[in-house]
Amino acid sequence: MSDTHADSPRPTRPAIAWIGLGIMGSPMSENLVKAGYDVTGFTLEQDKLDRLAAAGGTAAGSIAEAVRDADVVITMVPASPQVEAIAYGPDGILENAKSGALLIDMSSITPRTSVDLAKAAKDKGIRVLDAPVSGGEAGAVEAVLSIMVGGEQADFDTAKPIFEALGRTIVLCGPHGSGQTVKAANQLIVAVNIQACAEAVVFLEKSGVDLTAALDVLNGGLAGSTVLTRKKDNFLNRDFKPGFRIDLHHKDMGIVTDAARNVGAALPVGAVVAQLVASLRAQGDGGLDHSALLRAVERLSGARL
């Protein structure tokens, strides 16, 4: 007796183009390769293209080459200007992707940029989701990101298997731009949390308390958080190798304070932390991990760094 299930064709996975292979984009694209997707990538750094090829993906020589035959195009670049640069123009995604393709922008940008991109793409027959993520480099590597999505339900359903290869918490938050709005709130919470942890670290050390023991017990109670779990070793070892750079968090704090002003929401604590992030960046620490907010507290407390 023949097995009808065995004779049924396996569903084909969509071909994916990935634009932007930075700290987050490289491990995320590699996780899609591991999940069995054909991934063609493009970025400006040759070593990042070599890394993708070594992982089993395909390196492209241009955006146009990467997206031409893709069913799904995923972008992960630093900010709104970069999204606009890769999306628009004769060499951009919208002019070179095929009609019917799904464009998933996983960058953290302004909600307005996402809304405008969705409108422009619709004229080209291209569907769009904004799908920024939270979880940092570790979350990207471990494929446990939180993914907040804006767009149409049908497009979200199409993208869900792809998201499941990248993250653990995947939620459609509303129409276009909603994912970016939720991400802005996420960055507000993270920045305030890191700042509070940094202040606690300096307070504890100046009080002569065993810092390792203190952070362990704090993280087991109501003061515990994913931020403290992820950044504890950064604080203990003063290891500020970038998982998420101050430069990028500075950009995100600008997004959330501007968006909050537009809707009439007061962010008194967030505004202060935004200034502290900006101050740290102005002191030359923009390339460090955002846990380097500890350095700013140390300077305010009299340390010479």
Q: How far is CA 290 from CA 235, 273, 281, 286, in A?
A: 11, 12, 10, 8
Query: In sequence order, which residues have a C-beta less than 8 Å from that of residue 141 and are 6 or more positions away?
Result: 27
Task: Evaluate whether 243 touches 136 at the Cβ level (below 8 Å).
Answer: yes
Return the residue matching tokens 């023991």: 213
- Residues 6 or more apart from 268 whose CB is under 8 A from it? none
First to last CA, the chain: 76
The closest alpha carbon to 108, from 286, 295, 244, 277, belongs to 244
Catalytic residues: 183
The C-alpha angle with vertex 256 and arms to 251 and 259, in degrees rounded to 5, equals 120
Return the half-sphere exposure (C-beta side, CA atoms, 13 A cut-off) of residue 171: 11
Q: For residue 247, give the H/E element and its range.
A: helix 246-263
* Greatest Cα-to-Cα distance within the chain, rounded to the nearest angstrom: 81
Amino acid at 24: M
192 HSE (CA, 13 A, CB side): 14
> Which two tokens mark 50?
């070599």
Strand 72-75 to 133-134 pairing: unpaired
